[in-house]
Amino acid sequence: MHRLPSFPSPITTPTGARGRTISALICAVAVGTATACTPSQGAVAPASADAGTSRATPGAGGTANTAGTTGAPGIGDPDFPSDGNGGYDVQHYGLRLSYDPSTRKLAGSATIRAKAVQDLTSFDLDLHGLTVSRVTVDGAAASFSRSRDELVIEPARRVSDGDAFEVTVDYSGVPEPMRDSANLGRYGFISTPDGAFVTCEPNGAKTWFPSNDHPSDKATYDFQITVPEGLTAIANGEMDGTPQTKAGKTTFVWREKHPMASYLATMTTGKFQVRTGTSGKGLPIYAAVADSFRGSLDKLFAETGKITDYWSSVFGPYPFSSTGGVIDDYAAGYALENQTKPIYGGFSPEPAIIAHELAHQWFGDSVSIARWRDLWLNEGFATYAEWLWAEHTGRYTAESAFQRYYANAADPMWAYPPGTARADDLFSAAVYNRGAMTLHALRREIGDQKFFPLIRAWTDAHRYGNVTTREFIALAERVSGKNLKELFDAWLFQPKRPAPVT
Ligand code: TRP
Ligand code: ZN
C-alpha cells in the first residue's frame, strides 16, 4: 500500500517559494514571449555557457570584451548578466576568515589562484559590501575600485592570456546578506546571535568573500576560520587537524579538494553539538546541530549516512570525500545543499528533505549547471529523488506523485516551462515539481532498464563539471536509442500541460 504524498512537499525552498503562485500578469508575459517557449531557444545554450561539456567559457559571452584587455564584469549568464566575471578561470580559493558574533565583524584575506583566458590589464571579482584594504596580484600591490557588487582590480603588470596568477584581497566589515533577488528573501551571510548562517544560492558568496560568483567557474577551497572559543566553525570538505585555541579564539581548518560552485561554500558558525563517524559503506560523516536541536543529532547522523549510501547505489559513486549535515537554529525554513554538508535552517528535517539535499550532491554539486535557466537539472532531479526515496521506503510511488500533480489542470506550473527557469522566479514550484515530472515522463517512456543507467551515465560523464539541458537530452537519446525531442519539448519548454503520458 502506498500513501499519497502530502503536497506541497515540505519546506526545502526559501519561505513561500515552492507554494507561490505565478501571477497572471507574469504568465501572460511568459506565454507571449516566443523565445521563452520554443524548444530550440530553450534548449540551446549561448556560446558562453555551452562550449564544451566541462565548463562554460568565462567571459566569452554577453558583455565580454574579448578583443580588449578588460575582463568582463559578467561571466555571460544571459539571465544574471553581472554575476561572475570574464577573462579568467579560478582554480582555488584560500580563505582566511575571522568572525566575531558580538560585533558581527568579519575580517578576511582571500587568496585566489586563477588562470587568465585573455590578456588582462584589469579584471573584476564579485564582492557585496565590506571594505577592501589591500589587493595584490602575484605579490605586487594592485589598484582597485568598487562599483556596485564588482571589485575592479588593475594589476601593476598586465596578466597575459594563459598565465596562472594569484590575487590576494584583504577586507573586513559587517556582512550584509542579499535581499529579494530572484524572490528569495534573505540569503548569503546571515548573522545569528551566536554566529552566522551562511547559505548563498544563487549569488550570495560575494557577501562574505571576493569571488567569481557563478556556478560555471568551480574551484577547490581551503578555509581557515577563527571564532571565539566555545564556538564551532563549519565549512565544506573535511577538517584538517584539530582546532587550535589561543588567547580565547579557536581556529578551524577545512579543505574541499573537489571543485565546488561558489554558492555551495559555507562558513556556518555558532554553538554546535557535533557527531562524527562513518556510514555503513565507510564514508566519513560530519553532523552538527545547534544546541536547541540537540535531540535531533543522532537521527540526522544516522539518516544522512543511510541515505548517502543508498543514493550511491542509485546515482553512482558518491562524488566527495565525506557527507554530513548541519541544523542551525536560524529559522530560515529552508535548506541548502552545501557541498558535503547540507544546512537545514531552523528545523529538524524529515528523511524526504535529507534525501533531497543529499541527491543534490550528485545533481547540482558534482554535476553543476552552467547557467541558472537550467536549474531544473538541480531541483527537478532532487525533487524526483524525494519521490524515489518514498518509493524505496514504501510510502508512495513516483507514479502516484506524478498522477496527483498531473490531475490538477489549474496548477500554475503548467504556465511556467521549467526548462527556462526565470531570473525573477528562479526557485518556482514548476522548476521543482514539473521538473521532477519531466524525469518521470522520461522514465515511463524509456523504462527503468534505460532510465537508471542513464542517470548513472549522466553523473559519471559530467562528474565535477558543468552541463546544459541540451546535453542531458542528447545523452537520454543516446542511452535509450529513442528520439525524445517531443517529450522534452512538451515537458520543459511549452507553457501548457503536456498530453497525458500513456
Ligand atoms: N536549493 C535549495 C533546495 O532546493 C533551495 C534554495 C534556493 C536555497 N536558494 C537558496 C536555500 C538560498 C538557502 C539559501 O534545497
Ligand atoms: Zn533543492
Question: What is the per-residue pLDDT for 359?
Answer: 99
Instruction: Kindly state the average pLDDT of the residues 404-424.
Output: 97
pLDDT band of residue 501 (cuts 50, 70, 90) is confident
Predicted confidence (pLDDT) at residue 54 exceeds the cutoff of 50: no
pLDDT band of residue 23 (cuts 50, 70, 90) is very low
Q: What is the 3-class SS of 447-500, one letter each residue? A: CHHHHHHHHHHHHHHCCCCEECHHHHHHHHHHHHCCCCHHHHHHHHHCCCCCCC
pLDDT digits (tens, 9 = 90+) for 422-444: 999 999 999 999 999 999 999 99
Ligand nearest to the CA of 381: 2
Burial of 111 (0-12, 13-18, 19+ CB in 10 A): middle
Give the Å distances, CA to CA, from 322 to 278, 281, 466. 9, 11, 21
CB-ligand 1 contact for 150 (6 Å cutoff): no
CB-ligand 1 contact for 346 (6 Å cutoff): no
Question: What is the per-residue pLDDT for 371?
Answer: 98
The reported pTM is 0.89
What's the longest Cα–Cα distance across the chain? Answer: 70
- Mutational pocket test of ligand 1: of 11, 13, 80, 425, the residue with most ligand atoms within 8 Å of the beta carbon: 13
pLDDT band of residue 40 (cuts 50, 70, 90) is very low
342 contacts 336 by C-beta, under 8 angstroms:
yes
The span from the CA of 175 to the CA of 216, in Å, is: 24
Please state, for a pLDDT cut of 90, what percent of the chain lies above it.
84
CB-ligand 1 contact for 379 (6 Å cutoff): yes
Burial of 151 (0-12, 13-18, 19+ CB in 10 A): buried
Taking alpha carbons only, the member of 214, 261, 221 closest to residue 58 is 214
Predicted confidence (pLDDT) at residue 1 exceeds the cutoff of 50: no
- Helix ranges, 315-447 (H): 351-359, 376-393, 398-407, 429, 435-446
Query: What is the phi/psi pair of residue 237, to 5°?
Result: 80, -145
pLDDT band of residue 67 (cuts 50, 70, 90) is low
Question: What is the per-residue pLDDT for 444?
Answer: 98
Instruction: Kindly state the average pLDDT of the residues 412-419.
Output: 98
290 contacts 297 by C-beta, under 8 angstroms:
no
Residues with CB under 5 A from ligand 2 (ion): 379, 382
Mean pLDDT of the chain: 89
Question: What is the per-residue pLDDT for 428?
Answer: 95
Instruction: Kindly state the average pLDDT of the residues 231-254.
Output: 98
| DSSP code for 434 | I
Higher-pLDDT residue of 403 and 13 is 403
Cα(343) to centroid(ligand 1), Å: 10
Taking alpha carbons only, the member of 212, 108, 214, 220 closest to residue 169 is 108
Predicted confidence (pLDDT) at residue 237 exceeds the cutoff of 90: yes
pLDDT digits (tens, 9 = 90+) for 85-133: 999 999 999 999 999 999 999 999 999 999 999 999 999 999 999 999 9
Question: What is the per-residue pLDDT for 286?
Answer: 98
Give the Å distances, CA to CA, from 119 to 49, 68, 73, 159, 415. 21, 8, 15, 6, 45
CB-ligand 1 contact for 12 (6 Å cutoff): yes
Instruction: Kindly state the average pLDDT of the residues 54-77.
Output: 65
Please list, in sequence order, all residues whose beta carbon lies within 8 angstroms of the beta carbon of residue 250, skipping any fewer than 6 positions away.
226, 227, 228, 229, 230, 231, 233, 243, 244
Taking alpha carbons only, the member of 110, 140, 123 closest to residue 210 is 110
SS3 label, residue 421: coil
The span from the CA of 79 to the CA of 413, in Å, is: 20
Query: What is the phi/psi pair of residue 175, to 5°?
Result: -65, 140
Angle between helices 398-407 and 376-393 (to 10 degrees): 120
Half-sphere exposure of 28 (CA within 13 A, CB side): 3
The span from the CA of 105 to the CA of 108, in Å, is: 10
pLDDT band of residue 182 (cuts 50, 70, 90) is low
> Grid coordinates representing 191?
548573522
The span from the CA of 198 to the CA of 188, in Å, is: 5
Residue nearest to atom 11 of ligand 1 (CA): 336
pLDDT band of residue 383 (cuts 50, 70, 90) is very high
The span from the CA of 167 to the CA of 425, in Å, is: 35
> Grid coordinates representing 36?
521563452
Question: What is the per-residue pLDDT for 180?
Answer: 72
Measured from the Cα of 427, ligand 1's closest atom is 7
Question: What is the per-residue pLDDT for 8?
Answer: 37
Taking alpha carbons only, the member of 453, 457, 439 closest to residue 398 is 439
Cα(464) to centroid(ligand 2), Å: 18
* Across 3-12, 117-126, 201-210, least confident range: 3-12
Please list, in sequence order, all residues whose beta carbon lies within 8 angstroms of the beta carbon of residue 71, skipping any fewer than 6 positions away.
59, 85, 86, 87, 88, 118, 120, 122, 123, 124
The span from the CA of 8 to the CA of 324, in Å, is: 26
* Across 37-41, 419-423, 477-481, least confident range: 37-41
Taking alpha carbons only, the member of 125, 49, 132, 120 closest to residue 83 is 125
Residue nearest to atom 2 of ligand 1 (CA): 336
Reported residue count of the chain is 502
Predicted confidence (pLDDT) at residue 49 exceeds the cutoff of 90: no
The span from the CA of 379 to the CA of 334, in Å, is: 14
pLDDT band of residue 502 (cuts 50, 70, 90) is confident
pLDDT digits (tens, 9 = 90+) for 445-493: 999 999 999 999 999 999 999 999 999 999 999 999 999 999 999 999 9
The span from the CA of 444 to the CA of 140, in Å, is: 60
Cα dihedral: 219, 224, 227, 232 (round 10) = 70
Angle between helices 376-393 and 351-359 (to 10 degrees): 140
Residue nearest to atom 14 of ligand 1 (CA): 199
Burial code (b: 16+ CB inside 10 Å, e: under 16) for 414-440 equals: bbbbbbbbbbebbbbbbbbbbbbbbbb
Predicted confidence (pLDDT) at residue 21 exceeds the cutoff of 80: no
pLDDT band of residue 181 (cuts 50, 70, 90) is low
pLDDT digits (tens, 9 = 90+) for 124-154: 999 999 999 999 999 999 999 999 999 999 9
Place of cell 588562470: 115
267 contacts 235 by C-beta, under 8 angstroms:
yes
- Mutational pocket test of ligand 1: of 427, 428, 432, the residue with most ligand atoms within 8 Å of the beta carbon: 427
Question: What is the per-residue pLDDT for 440?
Answer: 98
Taking alpha carbons only, the member of 189, 188, 191, 144 closest to residue 169 is 144
Question: What is the per-residue pLDDT for 18?
Answer: 38
Predicted confidence (pLDDT) at residue 27 exceeds the cutoff of 60: no
Q: Return the number of other C-beta atoms located less than 10 Å from residue 291's C-beta.
A: 11
426 contacts 395 by C-beta, under 8 angstroms:
no
Question: What is the per-residue pLDDT for 184?
Answer: 72
